[in-house]
Structure formats: C-alpha cells, structure tokens
Amino acid sequence: MTHKLPTLPYQMEELAPLMSQETLEFHYGKHLQTYIDNLNKLIPGTPYETLSLEDIICKADGAIFNNAAQTWNHTFFFQTLTSHSDVIPQKLDALLTSNFGSAEAFKEQFTKAALGLFGSGWVWLAADKEGKLFILPESNAGNPLTKGYTPLLVIDLWEHAYYIDYRNRRAAYIEAFWKLVNWEKVAERII
C-alpha cells in the first residue's frame, strides 16, 4: 500500500493570520510529505506494507512506527482545523463538563499540559473504552491508538508547527489553536 498526502479540508491561506500559508506550505507540504515518503520507502518487503496506518502504529516500532505515527498524527491534526471555529456542540460540551468541570476548565488543563510538554510531541484529548475523556501528553510520535484509546483532538507541539508564525512563543500558538479547532469534527469522533 502506498500512503499519500491527504487533502486538506480548507485552502492553505484560509487559516491566516492564526496559521499562515507559509506555515502550512512547510508543515503540511514538506514535513508531512517527508514522513509519508519515508514510510513508503521503509515498508516494502515488511509485514507492514499492506497495513493501514492505524495497524502499523499499533504493531510497529522504530523508524516505521515513527513515520507512520507522524503521518497519522499530522493528518489528524490538519483535519481538526478550520477557518471558522464554531461553538462546541452540546454533546461534546456535556462530556467535557462531566470529565473536566466545564469546557473552559478542559481548555485550561489542555493548555497547561501543552505548555508543560518538554521538547517535541503532541497533547491529545482521548477517550477510553468506557467513554471517559482525558488529556494525554505524548512525546515525539506518541499516539493514543497504541494504548487502545480513541483520539478526539490534538495539538502538534513540534516547533515546525509554529516557528514560522510564532517563533519560540508556544503559548501564543496554543492560544491561536483554540480559534482554529473544528469542534464539530471533534464531536463526530466521540464513540
């Protein structure tokens, strides 16, 4: 199976000024493409060559895992963004309230986890098999699928995600992220 660069659900200039076209040209067009290209070079002749990204992530390690997970994580991240962030749907708002006290309290806890993640990685909102929501910081290519959890929302905390627009100001990037979240998409992912 050959993995391909996914189509964005928006035009690259649509997220500006919160996320510039230049950032997307590098982050989506170059970084994500490199992970896909690397994965496609690594899997021929291995047990992973016909598997889905999800299966590769759950079964592989080393370079194959890293490139598959980075491909999946980035795709998930880009598909969660929108130029017209909307109100949190009632079903999701109720779940955030029951798990974190309120949607605002969730955002505060998620932001704190994102600011506290050392180095590069991801912070996820995930659900376990019982539907309980939790915040999961993961370094490098970490992904909730490896633990049997359902990913609902993620922020990319690798510097290439924000350095062009925000330099080393991770807090400003996180603040902008909240204005780009497609809450309808997040709600659709609830089991």
The model's pLDDT over 120-149, given as tens digits with 9 standing for 90+, comes to: 999 999 999 999 999 999 999 999 999 999
Chain CA centroid to CA 163, Å: 17
What is the rounded average pLDDT of the residues 72-89? Answer: 95
For residues 167 and 85, the model is more confident at: 167
What is the rounded average pLDDT of the residues 68-92? Answer: 96
What is the rounded average pLDDT of the residues 105-124? Answer: 97
Q: How confident is the model at residue 191 (pLDDT cuts 50, 70, 90)?
A: confident
Share of the chain above pLDDT 70, in %: 100
Q: What is the pLDDT of residue 140?
A: 96
Average pLDDT, the chain: 96
Q: How does 108-129 read in b/e, with b if 16+ C-beta sit within 10 Å?
A: ebbbebbeebeeebbbbbbbee
The model's pLDDT over 45-65, given as tens digits with 9 standing for 90+, comes to: 999 999 999 999 999 999 999
Q: How confident is the model at residue 85 (pLDDT cuts 50, 70, 90)?
A: confident
> Whole-prediction pTM value?
0.96
72 phi-psi bin (left φ>0, alpha ψ -120 to 50, beta other): alpha
Helix, strand and coil in the chain, % to nearest 5 = 50, 10, 35
Residue with tokens 């290519």: 141
Peptide bond into 151 cis (omega under 30): no
Q: What is the pLDDT of residue 1?
A: 81
